[in-house]
């Protein structure tokens, strides 16, 4: 009993030490203009209505190597501590601030290939890159269940944090401590968050010769939901987990699949709407548009190291530029999207062309 109490005290002191170091980190990192970098980001998050703050991992490395290792080795604990620290900062900036802020880490120095995710990575924070191949529609996940204890002795309501994909009936009432009576789940009074699953696959150029591209499922929640779309090249920072662990089934399976619980996700390439054109760029585009050989030049610029295949390259050029959507008088719409399917023998540069 004494040992258990000592271990509890040591754990609490360790957590308090970590929280102090995280608060010191947040207050000490300066931006180029000399301002406190993460206080400014907290203010920006609150002003924009966001519930997350991006943390650059390189800043943690420069501040404290041990803290940086803890983020990788014990991400669940450190994410909770960073969230507490950021929320404390937010409440010093805005007294009326409600809720909490989540840290979104980015810039992990070493990315791990999807096919290299193994047992030793379980429970750790990793960074993987790939292309979004599939995604589910957003759903609502219960994160805090509200229960009512219906019995002659009680009738009180209490909430329990939901940490898995299943909701289990509480063994006893958190108010009166009794296990008798009925426990009713109050769905309309429970707390939910947005929830989505996506699958990311290896990039064609990263797949070893003669092998199939591999995929991994990523769980996105909160403001990460609907941030990307199929076809986007993304960089995901997340915690490696085993799918299905924690279910209440009487029979537990012995074989699991690895999945990522996303902490942050960013697109690797800018979208068209994010590209800023200078006056020089616009003048150059207009000059090229007047060139009678512009179509031929565009086709020739696609995979120039691959000889021939002019018809395939032309199809890819049309895909890159897309078509023009048309709206008919009867209200129907014809999409302008162009799709390309390349079929051919192995070793004919299909992947390289795409």
Task: Please state whether beta strands 52-56 and 102-106 pair in parallel, antiparallel, or not at all (unpaired).
Answer: parallel
Judge whether 132 and 114 are in contact, CB under 8 Å.
no
- 67: pLDDT confidence band, cut at 50, 70 and 90? very high
- 8: pLDDT confidence band, cut at 50, 70 and 90? very low
Burial zone of 339 (CB within 10 Å; 0-12 exposed, 13-18 middle, 19+ buried) = exposed
Pick the CATH number of 114-137+214-269 from 3.40.50.300, 3.30.420.40, 3.40.720.10, 2.40.50.140: 2.40.50.140
> Tell me, what's the pLDDT at 309?
83
Q: Residue 4 pLDDT > 60, yes or no?
A: no
Judge whether 90 and 42 are in contact, CB under 8 Å.
yes
**Distance between CA 90 and CA 310 in Å, rounded?**
58
Residue spans of the domains in the chain: they are: 2-106, 114-137+214-269, 140-193, 276-353
**Distance between CA 161 and CA 53 in Å, rounded?**
23
- For the segment 144-160, the average pLDDT, to the nearest whole number, is 89
Topology at the third CATH level for domain 2-106: mini-chromosome maintenance (MCM) complex, chain A, domain 1 (3.30.1640)
Q: Residue 1 pLDDT > 50, yes or no?
A: no
> Tell me, what's the pLDDT at 249?
55
Task: Give 58's DSSP letter.
Answer: H
The percent of residues above 70 in pLDDT, for the chain, comes to 91
- The C-alpha angle with vertex 78 and arms to 72 and 80, in degrees rounded to 5, equals 140
Q: How many helices (H) and strands (E) does the chain have?
A: 9, 12
> Tell me, what's the pLDDT at 246?
56
Pick the CATH number of 140-193 from 2.40.128, 2.20.28, 3.30.70, 2.60.40: 2.20.28
> Tell me, what's the pLDDT at 89?
92
Q: Which residue has the higher pLDDT, 164 or 52?
A: 52
Nearest to 219 by CA among 248, 257, 255: 257
Count CB neighbours of 344 within 10 A: 11
Judge whether 337 and 318 are in contact, CB under 8 Å.
no
> Tell me, what's the pLDDT at 252?
63
- 271: pLDDT confidence band, cut at 50, 70 and 90? low
Judge whether 154 and 130 are in contact, CB under 8 Å.
no
Judge whether 100 and 83 are in contact, CB under 8 Å.
yes
Residue 322 region by backbone torsions, left for phi larger than 0, else alpha for psi between -120 and 50, else beta: left
* Helix segments in 159-229, DSSP class H: none
**Distance between CA 132 and CA 199 in Å, rounded?**
6
**Distance between CA 58 and CA 68 in Å, rounded?**
9
Task: Please state whether beta strands 233-242 and 258-267 pair in parallel, antiparallel, or not at all (unpaired).
Answer: antiparallel
- 248: pLDDT confidence band, cut at 50, 70 and 90? low
């Amino acid at each position: 009993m004494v040992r258990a109490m000592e271990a509890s005290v040591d754990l609490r002191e360790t957590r308090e030490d970590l929280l102090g170091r995280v608060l010191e980190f947040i207050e000490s990192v300066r931006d180029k203009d000399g301002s406190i970098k993460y206080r400014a980001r907290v203010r920006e998050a609150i002003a924009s209505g966001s519930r997350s703050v991006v943390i650059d991992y390189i800043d943690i490395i420069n501040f404290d190597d041990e803290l940086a290792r803890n983020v990788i080795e014990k991400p669940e604990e450190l994410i909770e501590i960073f969230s507490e620290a950021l929320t404390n900062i937010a409440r010093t900036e805005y007294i009326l601030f409600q809720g909490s802020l989540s840290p979104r880490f980015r810039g992990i120095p070493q990315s791990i290939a999807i096919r290299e995710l193994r047992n030793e990575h379980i429970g750790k924070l990793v960074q993987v890159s790939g292309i979004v191949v599939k995604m589910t529609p957003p759903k609502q996940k219960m994160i805090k269940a509200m229960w009512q204890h219906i019995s002659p002795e009680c009738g009180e309501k209490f909430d329990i944090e939901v940490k898995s994909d299943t909701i289990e009936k509480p063994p006893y009432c958190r108010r009166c401590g009794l296990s008798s009576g009925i426990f009713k789940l109050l769905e309309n009074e429970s707390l939910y968050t947005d929830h989505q699953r996506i699958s990311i696959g290896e990039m064609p150029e990263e797949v070893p010769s003669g092998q199939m591209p591999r995929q991994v499922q990523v769980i996105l929640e909160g403001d990460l939901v609907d941030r990307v779309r199929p076809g986007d090249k993304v960089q995901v920072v997340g915690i490696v987990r085993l799918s299905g662990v924690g279910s209440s089934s009487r029979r537990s399976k012995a074989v699991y699949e690895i999945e990522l619980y996303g902490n942050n996700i960013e697109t690797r390439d800018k979208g068209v709407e994010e590209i800023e054109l200078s006056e020089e760029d616009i003048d150059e585009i207009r000059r090229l548009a007047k060139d009678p050989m512009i179509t031929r030049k565009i086709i020739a610029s696609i995979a120039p190291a691959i000889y021939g295949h002019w018809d395939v390259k032309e199809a890819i050029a049309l895909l890159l530029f897309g078509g023009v959507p048309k709206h008919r008088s009867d209200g129907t719409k014809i999409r302008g999207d162009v799709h390309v399917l390349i079929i051919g023998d192995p070793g004919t540069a299909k992947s390289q062309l795409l």
